[in-house]
Amino acid sequence: MPQSNVIILTDPESDFSLHQNRVTVLPIQGEYSREKLMLQRIRSYITFLDIRLEKLSQEQGRITHFIFSDSDIAVIDDLGQIFEKYQDFHVALTFRNNKDQPLNSGFIAVRGTRDGILRARTFLQKVLEVYSSKYMKASRMLGDQLALFWVIKSDASFDAKRFSKAQAFIKEIGGASVLFLPCATYNWTPPEGAGQFHGMPLDVKVVHFKGSRKRLMLEAWNYFSSSADISDMLCLILKSGRTKYDF
């Protein structure tokens, strides 16, 4: 996505000496302790959306969509098609067939219209309130995902069985039109296993190097960048055993 801009949301104390086109750093005040890091991330997303709302009136009708992602994610295809193919959603989440943790917060898309930003902000504010009231004692990497699922399943008409099929769908949740995208395509994680080769589905658009898979990021990205065909990145040589924690 060469025309996209990258904005790094971070704490004011961290020093990023970056000299890259289309990359900016946005420090946001908050609590960045390990215990409250995921809680702060939601707060930072809300603060960013507030900033965008203020700037929207200055941009004379120009619409810019946004994707919040973990820092261990690699985008390997154009994600702009999400906003063209599904034109009625305000916020997009990714799901997998997991009974207790079907949603992964590493990828959240927001439509950049005023209505989209406002409704996404309201939705995330609800997630923040649920996190603060119900999941502060959860593992520090799980609270936001548990809060996300609580907000979704609290809608009486929502059928969690839809997570069993890797097919995109849209559902109205708390006044926001939520697009659910399958992790298999939009938040795919390489399986782990000592010394094994694993294929990657051809339609993957986002690779998520969770846990100990982070060690593969640079090698995999360099391999992908040097290849003229995405199929050359089909196999990753995985050198260590399965990670204990897979969020």
Q: Tens digits of per-residue pLDDT, 195-244?
A: 444 556 678 899 888 887 787 788 777 777 776 555 555 454 334 344 44
The CA distance from 122 to 42, in Å, is 12
The CA distance from 206 to 182, in Å, is 11
Of the candidates 113, 123, 130, the one whose C-alpha atom is nearest the C-alpha of residue 175 is 123
Strand partners, 26: 9
User: Taken in order 219, 220, 224, 227, is the CA torsion positive or negative?
Assistant: positive
Which CA distances in Å does 151 have to 43, 122, 128, 131, 199? 16, 12, 10, 10, 34
Domain coordinates of the chain in residue numbers? Answer: 63-227
Of the candidates 91, 88, 125, the one whose C-alpha atom is nearest the C-alpha of residue 108 is 91
pLDDT tens profile 26-44: 999 999 998 899 999 999 9
pLDDT tens profile 125-179: 999 999 999 999 886 678 999 999 999 999 999 999 999 999 999 999 999 999 9
Phi, psi of 149 (to 5 degrees): -65, -35
Note the pLDDT of residue 126: 97
pTM of the model: 0.88
Cβ 185 vs Cβ 203: under 8 Å: yes
Strands 23-27, 6-10: parallel, antiparallel or unpaired by DSSP? parallel
- The residue assigned the tokens 């890091």 is 37
Note the pLDDT of residue 192: 64
The CA distance from 183 to 185, in Å, is 5
Query: Which token pair is 165?
Result: 């099929």
Query: Which token pair is 30?
Result: 């908050």
Question: Is 10's pLDDT higher than 70?
Answer: yes
User: Could you tell me which CATH number the domain at 63-227 has?
Assistant: 3.90.550
- Give the gyration radius of the chain's Cα atoms: 18
